[in-house]
Amino acid sequence: MLKNKDSFKVLQLTDLHIGETPLNADDQKTFDLIKSTVKEIDPDLIVVTGDLIWSEGVTDPEKSFHELIEVFNSIEKPIAVTYGNHDTEEGITRSDLRILERKLLHAVEKKHSFIVEDRESYCVEIREQNGDLAHVLYIVDSGANDPLEIGTYEFVHPKQVNWFYDVSGLYQQEKKQATEDLLFLHIPLPEYHEAWKNGKAYGYKYEEVSSPAVNTGLFTSLLLNKQVKGVFCGHDHDNDFEGSYHGIKLCFGRITGFNCYGDLPRGGRVIELQINQSGSPK
């Protein structure tokens, strides 16, 4: 993707939870909100951080996903997606969803795609007009339920951590100067707890942070990389806060979907990538 101006605007949507077809009134409200928000914000890129659909108890989740694709195609903006714990609970797999993704007319080009246990990680490159690398967005599928049953939710796979370490190293060799890079996933990293507790967080926290109990060290790799300035997740519908932890912003996206629990007003998070005095994304 090319960066045509001094800043690059990303709209994060999360937890849409599109349900059974024919769609109910709440799902229609979600579609209307997506369209109106995109019109108002005019983003350069949309990133959806998981739980695009419900699948448990849904007769044909492919139809639900197709309805969502039609909405995304109608707004004509580049889009990147990753999946959450509700997308593939029943009747559909992540491989199935990735095949359906091919119907997205404005899907981003996935760089360095890597799949482990049917979970895809990939990069979105944002380049200057002259071809120089401006930013790297890392999109990581954080999984669903904890297969070890130590906690409730899945952890970033160790092979995904190795993937990040290797790929980010390749980008560092290419870069002519330091860049502000971002990482997107569905389930918050364990460090989100510390980001709230250390007193440097602000925003809304109306429920416990639903991180995995097992920490596989992705955040440590981010610290060693020194290029990733922010992490953005979804998953917790009643949390929308931003905390700073060892110089990296850990942020929740604002819940977008109406067809699920949560008292926060629905919306999205806007991220402007530009170098300011702190070198961090606004």
Q: How far is it, in rounded angstroms, from Cα 30 to Cα 153?
A: 25
Q: How confident is the model at residue 278 (pLDDT cuts 50, 70, 90)?
A: very low
pLDDT for 277 equals 34
Computed from CA positions of residues 103, 159, 154, 236, in that sequence, does the dihedral angle turn out positive or negative? Answer: negative
* Helix, strand, coil distribution of the chain in percent, nearest 5: 25, 25, 50
**Residue corresponding to tokens 């714990």:** 85
Please give the average per-residue pLDDT across 48-62, as a whole number. 95
- pLDDT exceeds cutoff 50 at 280: no
- Chain segment 151-208, per-residue pLDDT in tens: 999 999 999 999 999 999 999 988 878 789 999 999 999 999 999 988 779 999 999 9
Please give the average per-residue pLDDT across 238-248, as a whole number. 96
Q: How far is it, in rounded angstroms, from Cα 122 to Cα 94?
A: 14
Cα angle 247-252-144, degrees, rounded to a multiple of 5: 110
Q: How far is it, in rounded angstroms, from Cα 65 to Cα 87?
A: 9
- pLDDT exceeds cutoff 90 at 17: yes
Q: How far is it, in rounded angstroms, from Cα 2 to Cα 124?
A: 11
Q: Which DSSP helix (H) or strand (E) runs through 115?
A: strand 111-116
What domains lie within the chain, and their CATH numbers?
8-273 (3.60.21.10)
pLDDT for 196 equals 94
Instruction: Give long-range contacts, CB 8 A cutoff, 24+ apart: 222-226.
Output: 222/164, 222/183, 222/248, 223/247, 223/248, 224/165, 225/164, 225/165, 225/168, 225/172, 225/181, 226/178
Is the pTM value of this prediction over 0.85? yes
DSSP state of 150: S
CA-based nearest residue to 196, from 158, 236, 162, 223? 236
pLDDT for 282 equals 53
Q: How far is it, in rounded angstroms, from Cα 242 to Cα 200?
A: 8
Contacts of residue 38, defined as CB under 8 A and 6 or more positions apart, other chains included, come to: 11, 46, 75, 77
Computed from CA positions of residues 147, 149, 153, 157, in that sequence, does the dihedral angle turn out positive or negative? Answer: negative
Q: Is the preceding omega at residue 212 within 30 degrees of 0, hence cis?
A: no
pLDDT for 5 equals 73
DSSP code per residue over 204-226 = EE-S-----SS--SHHHHHHHH-
